[in-house]
Structure 1
Amino acid sequence: MRILLAPMEGLLDFRLRNLLTRVGGYDECVSEFIRVNDTLLPSHRFYRYVPELYENCRTKSGVPVKVQLLGSDINCMAENASKVASLGAYGIDINFGCPAPTVNRNRGGAALLKEPDIMFAIVKAVRSAVPSAIPVTAKMRLGYDSTEQALVCAKALEEGGAEEIVVHARTKTDGYKPPAYWDWIYKIGSTVKVPVVANGEIWTAEDAKRCKEVSGCKDIMIGRGAVANPSLALMIREKRKEKLSWEEIKKILFQYWLNLETEMEIKSRAGRIKQWLHYLCRQYPEAERDFEIVKRLTNIEDFRNYWNIH
């Protein structure tokens, strides 16, 4: 079994990738999407989103990171894939799943699930532009507002040259509302010959087991579940029976704050911490209490004193 760590726009970035992969249990990560419009992006844009490119495209604990691109301009997607490959990308992943309205209005992410021919053309162009040793994969949802074209879209990705397809088991319209329709992942896996990775609504080790059974997938991707329980991957692998203690989580949160401090203003840092605490509330009752206090803190010393970390 492989466990992939998903990106989460505005939260699960390279800083959090580093911390979560340090806890352990992951085989691979995918970066936050890098938006491609109608131009060849400068190198610093790729390095900003994926500083792991400086380190053989691996986190500090050695977990490889695929660079995810999002866009609808076929030629520009290919050119930018070639560029990031030249910078040392471990792999290229193409986003056909983002449900954000601002992205979809600009014909990106899940909006392209209405255009399987364009999906095919993008993957084919990217695959042709990238050295064969670098894997090209794709992530999709079950459709835009229905599952009507789910199998067509998956076949388009396979025929375009995607070597693996991650399927988030909901439509764009479903957003992140439960349930996830894992049975549809099984249908997709039965239709294509390339490996399929199951994603969506995996919050516990029990969820992972059921997802694998229903979807027929041996590999899974987790995102929100990993943020809510940083030891989830280890628990899925049965390398831990219990989640990390709240004291251990506090130390990780503090390290995250320190990582943010050098690059973000106080308001933005506090926003990131609050987002993470929001997810931690699902697994840790202490997080709700700390959320109410942390949201009023404004500097590093207050934060250090509250967590009682020295």
Structure 2
Amino acid sequence: MIVQDKPIILAPMEGVIDALMRDLLTSINDYDLCVTEFVRVVKGLVPNHVYKKVCPELLSDGKTPSGTPVRVQLLGQHPQWLAENAVRAIDLGSPGIDLNFGCPAPTVNKSKGGAMLLKTPETIYEIIKQCRKAVPKAYDVSAKIRLGWEDTQHFTEILDAIEQAGASSLAIHARTKKQGYKAPAHWQYISFATQKLSIPVIANGEIWTKSDADKCQEVANTNKLMLGRGALAVPNLANVIKHGEQPYSDNQLISFLMHFCHTVPASAKPHYLSSRLKQWLKYIRLQYPIAQLIFSELKYLHDTEEILGYLQEKISN
């Protein structure tokens, strides 16, 4: 169970926050926990190499190089298969298991996974119950949800199912699947959950600044936060919230982007660096006007040395 004072968790973001990004962000922030992109469980046991690809930290005591624990997230709809894979992930070194009931991706929902399960709280109950039964008590089995599918009519039933099934904690993205990522996040529903449940409740959604974090904690009635897009838009956001640091200046931001370029392994696929950097800049430009300029000028560059040279000029200027 999460027991840290005012913990901040780095959210799972499929196709965005991978091991390299977890390494970078935990190297400059005091995150208490990271959750991986989901491991998709369709039938039977997922091969070990898939777990190690999604979570290479399993080879390092389940922690990032800076020592932040990394919890494997599972996604699927079959309780027994999820339970068997939960045990496998623990055996491979994950310091706990997270269960995804919030992914809004159409390809996932079409096969009755992720947020689709919000329509059937009884399935959520069975999944958590079987995973909790299979996983040793020393390890957390947490869950992540949205407020519902099209609306919040099943929200109370979902909360009851999660607690009665024995979940260790619950992260709530304060929007329905239908609402997607459209502002605002409805933190008041998280407050309802914190008052109703005896397990820790973590608030997620529309936390871009320290003032957002303070307001979220007040409205949601919890001091436990999960950062997703905001953690990408302001790279040191966790420490801005936790320790009162100033958000990175433009030059600090560019220096960090250059550090990212140097961190990408030489074995990475062609254009991996340029693609991921441009993807990241789409988030950063939501908080840094200079990132829009950098994105517009970098989008035609693919060579690492050209990219580094351009960024260096931006610092010099």
2:277 paired residue number: 273
Q: Matched residues in 2 for 1:151 and 1:257: separation?
A: 45
In structure 2, the CA distance between the partners of 1:104 and 1:243, relative to structure 1 (3 Å rule), is same
Correspondences of 1:89-238 after superposition (within 5 Å)? 89-238=94-243
The question of whether the paired residues in 1 share the 8 Å contact of 2:40 and 2:75 is answered with yes
Alignment match of 2:300 (pick from 273, 296, 300): 296
* Greater Cα offset, 256-265 or 37-46: 256-265
Q: Matched residues in 1 for 2:23 and 2:154: separation?
A: 36
What one-letter code is carried by the residue in structure 2 that aligns with 1:67? V
Please report how far the alpha carbon of residue 261 of structure 1 lies from its aligned counterpart in structure 2 after TM superposition: 4.8
What one-letter code is carried by the residue in structure 1 that aligns with 2:110? R
Please report how far the alpha carbon of residue 131 of structure 1 lies from its aligned counterpart in structure 2 after TM superposition: 1.2
The question of whether the paired residues in 2 share the 8 Å contact of 1:150 and 1:188 is answered with no
- Aligned-pair Cα RMSD in Å: 1.5
Q: Deviations over 1:116-153 (max 9, x none)?
A: 11100000111111111111000011000110111110
Does residue 69 in structure 1 map to residue 111 in structure 2? no
Q: Matched residues in 2 for 1:96 and 1:150: separation?
A: 12
Does residue 249 in structure 1 map to residue 253 in structure 2? yes
The question of whether the paired residues in 2 share the 8 Å contact of 1:5 and 1:29 is answered with yes
2:3 paired residue number: none
SS in 1 for 2:243: coil
Segments of structure 1 that go 5 or more residues without pairing to the other structure are none
1:83 paired residue number: 88
Q: Deviations over 1:169-219 (max 9, x none)?
A: 000000000011000111112221111111111111001111111110110
Does residue 51 in structure 1 map to residue 56 in structure 2? yes
Q: Matched residues in 2 for 1:109 and 1:13: separation?
A: 19
Could you list the structure 1 runs, at least 4 aligned residues long, displaced by more than 4 angstroms after superposition.
Answer: none
The question of whether the paired residues in 1 share the 8 Å contact of 2:115 and 2:148 is answered with yes
Q: Matched residues in 1 for 2:210 and 2:11: separation?
A: 17
SS in 2 for 1:308: helix
SS in 2 for 1:33: strand
SS in 1 for 2:152: coil
Q: Matched residues in 1 for 2:77 and 2:260: separation?
A: 34
What one-letter code is carried by the residue in structure 2 that aligns with 1:93? D
SS in 1 for 2:72: strand
Please report how far the alpha carbon of residue 74 of structure 1 lies from its aligned counterpart in structure 2 after TM superposition: 1.2
In structure 2, the CA distance between the partners of 1:39 and 1:255, relative to structure 1 (3 Å rule), is farther
The question of whether the paired residues in 2 share the 8 Å contact of 1:20 and 1:230 is answered with yes
1:36 paired residue number: 41
The number of residues matched between the two structures is 309
What one-letter code is carried by the residue in structure 2 that aligns with 1:174? Q
What one-letter code is carried by the residue in structure 2 that aligns with 1:282? L
The question of whether the paired residues in 2 share the 8 Å contact of 1:142 and 1:169 is answered with yes
Please report how far the alpha carbon of residue 243 of structure 1 lies from its aligned counterpart in structure 2 after TM superposition: 1.0
What one-letter code is carried by the residue in structure 2 that aligns with 1:253? L
Segments of structure 2 that go 5 or more residues without pairing to the other structure are 1-5
In structure 2, the CA distance between the partners of 1:292 and 1:261, relative to structure 1 (3 Å rule), is farther
Q: Matched residues in 2 for 1:234 and 1:35: separation?
A: 32
What one-letter code is carried by the residue in structure 1 that aligns with 2:103? C
TM-score (norm 1): 0.96
TM-score (norm 2): 0.94
SS in 2 for 1:32: strand
2:266 paired residue number: 262
2:311 paired residue number: 307
Q: Matched residues in 2 for 1:272 and 1:105: separation?
A: 27
Q: Matched residues in 2 for 1:258 and 1:111: separation?
A: 40
Q: Matched residues in 2 for 1:181 and 1:120: separation?
A: 24
